[in-house]
Amino acid sequence: MLRFLHLFLALFISHLCLAQLIDNMKGAAFNSEMYFNETFLKLNRVENITVSYAMKRTGRPIENKPDLKIFSFNESGQLIKIDAITSILSKIDSSHIAIDRNELGLISQRTEASKRGFTSTLFEYDSKGNVIKTENKTSENESDDKLKLISGLQYSINSETYQYSEPDGVTLQKQCFNNYGLPFATNRVIREPSGYIVREENEQTIGGKSIHVLYSYNEHGWISEKKSINPQKPETPIRQELFLYDKYGNLTGFKVYSNGKLIRDLEVIYTPTFFIDAVLDQDMSTKDILISRYTYQFKKP
C-alpha cells in the first residue's frame, strides 16, 4: 500500500511541477486576457472558471459587486470564450468575447460583442507562428431585442503588418507598420542562450521614445522581477513588478511599483489542491481591496 501511495505522490508532484494554474512565464499574470496555464487546465479537465467580485473599503463592510466573469476552455485547455458582467456606479453592462482558432491552435479571430455592436480582430501568422498581420473590423447589432446580439455586415477599420528578423542568435526583432504601410515601432526580444528572456526593447519611430523591459529569475527559473526603464535614465524604473511563489511554483502574489512608489499589492490564496480560491488586489492609493472569488466546472470523463 505504501508503495502505491509513494507512486501516487510522485505523480501528483510531477503534475505540480509540470503545470501551475497561473501562467506567469512572462510576468503577465492578471494583466492579460488569458493568464491560466493551458496544460493545467487540460490535465484537470477544467471546462470553465467563474470569477465573482467584492470590494472592501477602509472602515466599511465587504460589498458584493454584480460583476462576473466566466472563462470557457476547449479540450486542450485553450481559452475559447469570456462572458462578463461589468458595473460602473449604477450602470451594468454585459459583454461576450469569442475566440476562434486555426488548425494549429493559434488565435485566428477574436470577436467582442456588447449591446453597442461587434468588434473583431483577425490574425495572420508566418510558418513560425509569429503574427504578421492584424485587421480590426466592426459591425452593428442588428437585433431589435437589446438582450440579443446579431452581427450585421462587417466593416474594416484598420490593419497592421509586422516583419521579423533575427540579427543574431538570441534576438528576435519585429518591425510594425500601420495601415499606410509606414513603420511606427520596432520591438526586440533578447534571450540568453538557455532561452530565458532577459530584455525587451520597444522603440517608437516617431519621437524616438524607447522603453526597455528587464527580466530577472530566481534559482528555479521562475520570473522574480520585471522592470520597465527609460534607457536614458535607467537608475529610476518607470515600473517595477516583484513576484512571489510557493515551493511548487504557484504564484502567491506580486507587488507593483511606479517610479519607486508601491501602487498595487496582490495576494493569491489557493485551495489545498492548488486551485485559486481567491485573489486580494489592493490599490495602495485608496487602500481599497478588490476580492475575486474563483469557482470551477469540470468536463465529464
pLDDT digits (tens, 9 = 90+) for 109-140: 999 987 677 899 999 999 999 999 999 999 87
Strand, coil or helix: 9: helix
Q: Convert the pLDDT of each residue in 268-286 to its tens digit.
A: 999 999 999 999 999 999 9
Model pTM above 0.85 = yes
Q: Which set of grid coordinates corresponds to residue 114?
A: 456588447
How far is Cα of residue 295 from the mean position of the Cα atoms in its chain? 19
- pLDDT > 70: percent of the chain: 89
Can you tell me the distance from the alpha carbon of 36 to that of 297, in angstroms, rounded to the nearest whole number? 15
**Domain covering 1-77+209-301, topology:** Lipocalin (2.40.128)
Predicted confidence band of residue 1 (pLDDT cuts 50, 70, 90): very low
| pLDDT interval class at 301 (50, 70, 90) | confident
Range 141-168 average pLDDT: 80
Q: Print burial letters for 78-116: b (CB count within 10 Å at least 16), e (below 16).
A: bbbebbbbbeeeeeeeebebbbebeeeeebbebbbbbee
pLDDT reported for residue 90: 78
Question: Per-residue confidence at 19, pLDDT binned at 50, 70, 90?
Answer: low
Sketch the domain layout of the chain as residue ranges: 1-77+209-301
Q: Which helix (H) or strand (E) holds 157?
A: strand 155-168
Q: What angle do CA 189, 31, 296 make, to 5 degrees?
A: 125
**Rounded-to-integer distance, Cα 98 and Cα 157, Å:** 19
SS3 288: coil
| DSSP 8-state class, residue 36 | B
Q: Largest Cα–Cα distance in the chain?
A: 69
